[in-house]
Amino acid sequence: MLTSAALILLLSAAPVSVVGELDQQLTVAERRVIPAAEAMPEEHYAFAPTQGEFAGVRTFIEQVKHIAAVNYLILSAVRGEPPPEHVNQGRGPDAFRTRAEALKYLKESYAFAHGVTAALTTESLLGPVANPGGGPPGSRMELVSIAAIHAMDHYGQMVVYLRMNGIVPPATQKEIEQQKKTR
């Protein structure tokens, strides 16, 4: 249970603008995705499920690179620019084959995303921009939200991969530790 002082502190740290709220959405995704990517050992980065209906799914490293590439793809559209070549149709750089390379790419994609959102203004949020997925134009606000939603979708897949390799996701581990403290 939150005390009044903790609630005031929490609310005072909360974003107070629409742009701040959008950046917070990216931060929430980032704080789940990066620790999950860091939790998977190098030897399991090539893992993809094979039991059940998993034919053709991405490996763990492909999941990580895909999240990063789509961050660049979407946030480049928010800036009104074509995506960088390394986006590689949402696959990320083919040359990146190690955990370290994929993690660096992922972290850099979030730095890029935060930089793009920091340059947004309340006035610019609703202006139409080309949809990088080829659909009808969307607003900058919509696209930033889609980037966060997309990352969380793949985070769910990463959690399954971690658990299939006997690893408790870091966010779940934190919850378990909190529960132990309150007992």
Every domain of the chain and the residues it spans = 17-182
How far apart (Å, rounded) are the C-alpha atoms in residues 143 and 139?
6
Q: Output the six-digit token pair for 97.
A: 């084959």
Instruction: Indicate the average pLDDT of the chain.
Output: 92
pLDDT digit string (tens) for 64-103? 999 999 999 999 999 999 999 999 999 999 999 999 999 9
Q: pLDDT value at position 8?
A: 59
The beta strands (E) that lie in 72-166 are given as 128-129, 138-139
How far apart (Å, rounded) are the C-alpha atoms in residues 38 and 29?
14
Q: pLDDT value at position 6?
A: 57
> Do residues 91 and 62 make contact, with C-beta atoms less than 8 angstroms apart?
yes
Q: Which of 52, 55, 116, 123 is nearest to 84 (CA)?
A: 116
Q: pLDDT value at position 10?
A: 57
> Do residues 120 and 22 make contact, with C-beta atoms less than 8 angstroms apart?
yes
Q: pLDDT value at position 170?
A: 96
Given this structure, which CATH class describes domain 17-182?
mainly alpha
How far apart (Å, rounded) are the C-alpha atoms in residues 42 and 44?
5
In this prediction, residue 180 has a pLDDT band, given cuts at 50, 70 and 90, of confident
Q: pLDDT value at position 12?
A: 61
In angstroms, the first-to-last Cα distance of the chain is 13
pLDDT digit string (tens) for 95-153? 999 999 999 999 999 999 999 999 999 999 999 999 998 899 999 999 999 999 999 99
